Homo-oligomer: A and B are copies of this chain.
Amino acid sequence: MKNRITSLFAIKYPIVQGGMVWASGWKLASAVSNAGGLGVIGAGSMYPEVLRENILKCQKATDKPFAVNVPMLYPNLNEIMNIIVELGVEIVFTSAGNPKIWTTFFKEKGIVVVHVVSSVKFAIKAESAGVDAIVAEGFEAGGHNGRDETTTLTLIPSVKEKIKIPLIAAGGIATGDAMLATMVLGADAVQVGSRFVACTEASSHPSFKNKIVSIGEGDTHLTLKELAPVRLIKNKFYKDIQSLYENGTNINELKNLLGRGRAKKGMFEGDMDEGELEIGQVASMIHDIKSAKDIINDMMREFEEAKKRVVTI
């Protein structure tokens, strides 16, 4: 498939794996890249030296392009960015911050820069900062989320109207049908998160993968909006948060309950009660744990079947 995104990244299929915390190490990223998508190492849950190790291992495990995703709230940001450059990573995804600060730095070194946004306003800002492409992520997405709560179905065409650079749709996409739907709305490619958390090669805990497969529609909710909005599975920890809200709470109380390491405890260590379990609404469409290769091949088969079906609509 030849289009603006497959050309930009030099990949076979317009499927980008999300850089999810505690799931997206070198194993997942290299497996996705080897299967023809764009694998992405999620630096958000990695110390600088852990990221270094993951990049080096990923380079050994694949000769295909892969990327690193960096949430710009990261405390050791300079160190992280220098490792990326030093090790010759060719594509960087930035999120959660101002794209102006780092885009020039990377572009001067010939690195492709993609910025993740959740609103038209920031899509326009990212385009004028000079990024090569944009990921526009809707309200249904897992993990941290935009404040405007715009869904993928409305966000993609609204962004498409205002920007000219390539556009990657994210949020609610786990099937070839949803991939085609968002491309009908104007996306050049899709970023797939939740589906790749329930993947053999993801570093997420097996209990978390099984949980994703078992939940249905209505089992996630966007919460903690006073801190930073995050979509969680409705487990015990989530219910504890809601109890605080019901009794009238404040930011300090919420911060205390959240504490430190909740996400690691849930998604990486497998504590399904006390851990923070970030996943998208589309978990309702994920019914099995399978390899990155099977995920990509199945999505592409569904995508081609959906294209054929369209003619008969």
In this complex, the member of A120, A140, A154 whose beta carbon has the largest number of chain B beta carbons within 10 angstroms is A154
Query: Residue on B with the closest CB to A248?
Result: B248
Candidates B3, B161, B178, B216; contact of A153 at CB < 8 Å:
B178
Could you tell me how many residues of chain A have their Cβ less than 8 Å away from some Cβ of chain B? 49
| Protomer copies | 2
Query: Could you tell me if A151 and B148 are in contact, using CB atoms closer than 8 angstroms?
Result: no
Q: How far is the CA of A282 from the CA of B155 in the complex (A)?
A: 9
In this complex, the member of A119, A180, A181, A248 whose beta carbon has the largest number of chain B beta carbons within 10 angstroms is A181
Q: How far is the CA of A267 from the CA of B111 in the complex (A)?
A: 51
Query: Could you tell me if B138 and A180 are in contact, using CB atoms closer than 8 angstroms?
Result: no
Query: Residue on B with the closest CB to A1?
Result: B313
Query: Could you tell me if A138 and B121 are in contact, using CB atoms closer than 8 angstroms?
Result: no
Query: Could you tell me if A217 and B181 are in contact, using CB atoms closer than 8 angstroms?
Result: no
A293 located at the interface, meaning its Cβ lies under 8 Å from any Cβ of chain B in the complex: no
Interface members, chain A 271-313 (any B CB < 8 Å): 280-282, 284-285, 306-307, 309-311, 313
| Chain A interface residues toward B at CB < 8 A | 3, 119-121, 138-140, 148-155, 157-159, 161, 171-173, 175, 177-178, 180-186, 216-218, 221-222, 248, 280-282, 284-285, 306-307, 309-311, 313
A-B contact pairs, 21 of them (CB 8 A): A3-B313, A120-B217, A139-B139, A139-B140, A140-B154, A148-B218, A150-B217, A150-B281, A151-B151, A151-B152, A151-B171, A151-B172, A154-B280, A157-B175, A157-B177, A158-B217, A161-B285, A180-B184, A180-B313, A181-B184, A184-B306
